[in-house]
Amino acid sequence: MAKNRKKNSQMLSWAVKLDGRALWSENAVSGVSVYGEQLRKFGKQEYRRWDPNRSKLGAGIMRSRRDKQFLLPDPGSTVLYLGAGHGTSVSHLHDHVCGAGNDLGGRIVAVDLAPRCLRDLTHLAKSRPGLVPVLGDARKHAAWGVLIPRKVNWLFQDVAQSGQVDIFIAACKRFLAVGGTGLLSLKAASERWTGQGENVLFADVREKLTISGFEVEESIALTGYEDNHVLFVARRLE
């Protein structure tokens, strides 16, 4: 049994582990659960279970058919997260990008429009240095863009507003370096319907991203975790 468990365990990064069908991140704040998730020791290290039902990024990692590690940014880098919500995904991202006490020197700029979400993010940041909560509109870069003086190599967007694709393209043009990876979590219900169904909508999104100077490396249906959602993984070409 132990041998089988070992064979089914895979490190996706120094801090993120896929163990069978469960995703885990090494806990940057020992003994603390952020949203009620399970804590577990692997050897001497404590990990937090990354619930893909509550995290679009986690769901994307679980559903991806490519090398899953390519969905994660480089440890110690600066990343931009638009639509950070209450911090579920951001907390696991912090485990990977920053580590305990931000030993890696990473930085996560987490933007959300809702004051209630900002309160949760601010509370989270107190014990997680490197996390920068921002109350702001993903469309209005002038209000908070000064926090990102240099372009980043990884950007994630999860906003429930109409015009999600346009918001994503504009943000990438402003903040994402050429060659960098942008992840767009697209919620069909937030977009204007053409009456032709979700498949046509998602195909149109892929075409628009391509025309706008991106290579869509993967489109991941999050069905089973988040219905009516697709995570587009796009690399900026120009």
Asked if the structure places residue 16 within a domain, the reply is no
Asked if the structure places residue 144 within a domain, the reply is yes
Cα gap 64→62, rounded to integer Å: 6
Asked if the structure places residue 37 within a domain, the reply is no
Asked if the structure places residue 131 within a domain, the reply is yes
CATH code of the domain in which 99 resides: 3.40.50.150
> Which range of residues forms the domain containing residue 141?
51-236
| Closest residue by Cα to residue 105 from 71, 83, 76 | 76
Cα gap 230→238, rounded to integer Å: 23
Phi, psi of 123 (to 5 degrees): -65, -40
Asked if the structure places residue 10 within a domain, the reply is no
| Closest residue by Cα to residue 19 from 30, 29, 33, 7 | 7
Cα gap 50→71, rounded to integer Å: 15
For 174-189, the pLDDT digits (tens) are 999 999 999 999 987 6
- Choose the weakest-confidence range: 69-73, 74-78, 198-202, 205-209: 198-202
Asked if the structure places residue 111 within a domain, the reply is yes
For 73-131, the pLDDT digits (tens) are 999 999 999 999 999 999 999 999 999 999 999 999 999 999 999 999 999 999 999 99
pLDDT for res 189: 60
SS3 call for 9: strand
Residue 134 banded pLDDT, cuts 50, 70, 90: very high
What's the pTM? 0.93
Rounded mean pLDDT of 47-57? 97
Token reading at 37? 């998730």
Give the mean pLDDT of the chain: 93
Q: Evaluate if residue 162 carries a pLDDT over 70.
A: yes
pLDDT for res 197: 59
Question: How many domains does the chain divide into?
Answer: 1
Residue 161 banded pLDDT, cuts 50, 70, 90: confident
pLDDT for res 142: 95
For 216-232, the pLDDT digits (tens) are 999 999 999 998 899 99
Rounded mean pLDDT of 46-73? 96
Radius of gyration of the chain, Cα coordinates, nearest whole angstrom: 17
Q: Is 232:219 a contact under the CB 8 Å cutoff?
A: yes
Residue 1 banded pLDDT, cuts 50, 70, 90: very low
Asked if the structure places residue 1 within a domain, the reply is no
pLDDT for res 194: 52
pLDDT for res 201: 81
For 26, 28, 77, 210, 226, the CA distances from 93, given in Å and listed in that order, are 10, 10, 11, 27, 19
Phi, psi of 220 (to 5 degrees): -110, 115
- Choose the weakest-confidence range: 143-147, 191-195, 231-235: 191-195
Asked if the structure places residue 19 within a domain, the reply is no
Q: Is 195:208 a contact under the CB 8 Å cutoff?
A: no
| Closest residue by Cα to residue 132 from 89, 164, 74, 84 | 84
